[in-house]
Chains A and B, each alone.
Chain A
Amino acid sequence: EIVMTQSPATLSVSPGERATLSCRASQSVSSNLAWYQQKPGQAPRLLIYGASTRATGIPARFSGSGSGTEFTLTISSLQSEDFAVYYCQQYNNWPAFGQGTKLEIK
């Protein structure tokens, strides 16, 4: 079983600044890593897959990087609509999610 660990649990950032979220896998997942955004009362939305490919309609301020066991989601110049909870998920085996990072307004 692959365990996904996200850090930090909560990240406080001011609008217009950059946010960097981390995700670590307990064993290599190659590039089979996705990031999701979830807002209150909504289903998760796919942001990034293949560790670095933006899903359809996702703004360019969202970028992903990493491979193997270490991954990063970067959101440049935060907009008000970006404050939400973010999850990483590996799909190299049966899926596993990280525990989430809550991105809040500073």
Chain B
Amino acid sequence: EVQLVESGGGLVQPGRSLRLSCAASGFTFDDYAMHWVRQAPGKGLEWVSGISWNSGSIGYADSVKGRFTISRDNAKNSLYLQMNSLRAEDTALYYCAKVEDYGDSPLGYWGQGTLVTVSS
């Protein structure tokens, strides 16, 4: 069974940094692309960042480009999101998601999310 468990969220002041982690199990982690998706309170889903199986292809939403960095450690079956220069508008529930299959693929599996609150 695929399991994705996010951690690292919390309350942080504007301008500070936070690192999110996603522990994956139940599948061959280094075979699949992974993504971060966020959802601000009461709002819709926003794709944040994605990374290919071998980290050779990485993408970011314009809203986080230059501030967030996605990475993965295939030996540890883990996905990360380093978030710097945090803003109030980054406040959201951050989901880790696995693609359904190889190639162009939807997000078939989701964690339960970790909440990031940016406030002074």
Binding site for B on A (CB under 8 A): 1, 32, 34, 36, 38, 43-46, 49, 55, 85, 87, 89, 91-92, 94-100
Contacts known (A94-B47, A97-B44); A34 close to B106, Cβ less than 8 A: yes
Is B72 interfacial (CB-CB < 8 Å)?
no
Q: From B35, which residue of chain A is reached at the shortest CB distance? A: A95
A99/B105 contact (C-beta < 8 A), A49-B100, A94-B59 known: no
Of B47, B62, B108, B112, the contact of A95 (CB 8 Å cutoff): B47
Residues B111 and A55 in contact, CB atoms below 8 Å apart: no
Chain B's closest residue to A95 (CB) is B47
User: Which one, A1, A34, A85, A99, contacts B107 given CB within 8 A?
Assistant: A34
Per the bound structure, the CA–CA distance linking A89 and B110 in Å amounts to: 15
Given A46-B107, A89-B107: A1 touches B45 (CB 8 Å cut-off): no
Across chains A and B, which 6 residue pairs bring their CB atoms closest together, nearest first? A34-B106, A43-B110, A94-B59, A95-B47, A49-B106, A97-B45
CB-defined contacts of B61 to chain A, threshold 8 Å: 94
A44 touches B45 (CB 8 A): yes
Query: Whole-angstrom distance from the CB of A62 to the nearest CB of chain B?
Result: 14
19 residue pairs A–B, Cβ–Cβ below 8 Å: A32-B104, A43-B110, A43-B112, A44-B95, A46-B100, A46-B108, A49-B105, A49-B106, A85-B44, A87-B44, A91-B105, A94-B47, A94-B61, A95-B37, A95-B107, A97-B44, A97-B46, A100-B44, A100-B45
